[in-house]
Amino acid sequence: MAQLLASLQCVRGLANWSLYVCVEPSEEQNKIIDLITAAALPCKLNLNRNRSQHGVRGNPLFCLQEASADGAETFLLLEDDLEVSADCLEFIELATAQPSWDRQYRCGNLHFSTCFNNAHLNHWDKKASFLPRTAFDTYFLSSLGLFFSRAQFESFIQPHWWDAPLLLRDFFGERISGWDCSLNQALLLGNQPCLQSLLPRVRHLGVVGVHSDAVLHQRSYAHAGIYSGQQPLTDLAIHTVDGINANPPDGCEHWGHLLRMARQLWTLERTALKRQLELARCSRDLRRYF
């Protein structure tokens, strides 16, 4: 948490935001609250001492609901073991300022990633000045650096938070659960994408987490880089696979293959989900006849 707080102190525009923190009851609760208070972040701080355990899945939603009840219009969901870039809020504000944001998108992410990703971006050509403004329409969704509007919270995030059981599987074909997986499945089955930053503006820190261990860390998070965001971000260049295929933009040679390969993966995931839904319907129909 100390590293997250240190990175937040460097975030431009934080004074215009409010920080909501819901701390679960434990022997460490006072220590955690003292650490957050001592950081003296330049924003309004809303600290909640949970009276009862909401759990790993329930507490983030509880915190979002607290912010929503206070009238929050834009949300960035953070965990205590993350690091963010200095321009992360600039990216979010530019994304959510898109005229069709609420209608066109389900949510956004501060990095180009999906659940169980083992291929985080960790290096880029720092001379390519166009990379920081590059963003993609995807059907990926990650729990790290997830952001959304009030309308998206009410129409997508909250309604699908507890979806279960899931048809979506991990890359080894095993059953999965978790709010991020629930949202990922709902995203794949819908027709509104997630807007993701090409350069990573968030990354996971530490070897051990609630759903992480040394093996997963070495396979995944250990390779994740983070863009510093030192230069102000003033605009976004948003791309789709169809768009770059029809009219390749300048710089597409740096990242076009990544976006095309990603579409192959989410198309495969979507096709598998739809086939399972069709089989389930066929099974129900057969049971009615026999």
Residue 206 falls within a domain, yes or no?
yes
Q: What local confidence, expressed as pLDDT, does residue 178 receive?
A: 94
Domains contained in the chain, number:
1
Residue 174 falls within a domain, yes or no?
yes
pTM for the whole thing? 0.94
The residues, ordered by sequence, that sit 6+ positions from 28 with a Cβ below 8 Å of its Cβ are none
Q: What local confidence, expressed as pLDDT, does residue 192 receive?
A: 96
Which own/partner contact pairs does 206-215 have at CB distance under 8 Å and 24+ positions apart?
206/81, 209/81, 210/56, 211/178
User: Which structural domain, as residue segments, surrounds residue 192?
Assistant: 84-289
Residue 41 falls within a domain, yes or no?
no
d(CA 71, CA 170): 36
Backbone angles phi, psi at 95, to 5 degrees: -65, -50
Residue 178 falls within a domain, yes or no?
yes
d(CA 50, CA 74): 23
By the 8 A CB rule, do 141 and 187 touch? yes
Residue 30 falls within a domain, yes or no?
no
Residue 16 falls within a domain, yes or no?
no
Q: What local confidence, expressed as pLDDT, does residue 65 receive?
A: 98
d(CA 158, CA 63): 12
Write out the chain's pLDDT in tens, 290 residues.
899 999 999 999 999 999 999 999 999 999 999 999 999 999 999 999 999 999 999 999 999 999 999 999 999 999 999 999 999 999 999 999 999 999 999 999 999 999 988 888 888 888 889 999 999 999 999 999 999 999 999 999 999 999 999 999 988 889 999 999 999 999 999 999 999 999 999 999 877 666 667 777 787 777 889 999 999 999 999 999 999 999 999 999 999 999 999 999 999 999 999 999 898 888 777 777 76
Cβ-count burial 57-91 (b if 16+ within 10 Å, e if not) = bbbbbbbbeebbeeebebbbbbbbbbbbbbbbbbb
Residue 132 falls within a domain, yes or no?
yes
Q: What local confidence, expressed as pLDDT, does residue 210 receive?
A: 60
Q: What local confidence, expressed as pLDDT, does residue 153 receive?
A: 98
Helix (H), strand (E), coil (C) string for the chain: CHHHHHHHCCCCCHHHCEEEEEECCCCCHHHHHHHHHHCCCCCEEEEEECCCCCHHHHHHHHHHHHHHHCCCCEEEECCCCEEECCCHHHHHHHHHCCCCHHHHCCEEECCCCCCCCCCCCCCCCCCCCCHHHEEEEECCCCCCCEEEEHHHHHHHHHHHCCCCCCCCECCCCCECCCHHHHHHHHHHHCCCCEEEECCCCEEECCCCECCECHHHHHHCHHHCCCCCCCCCCCCCEEECHHHHHHCCCCCHHHHHHHHHHHHHHHHHHHHHHHHHHHHHHHHHHHHHHC
Q: What local confidence, expressed as pLDDT, does residue 158 receive?
A: 98
Q: What local confidence, expressed as pLDDT, does residue 209 receive?
A: 66
Residue 102 falls within a domain, yes or no?
yes
Q: What local confidence, expressed as pLDDT, does residue 123 receive?
A: 85
d(CA 198, CA 183): 20
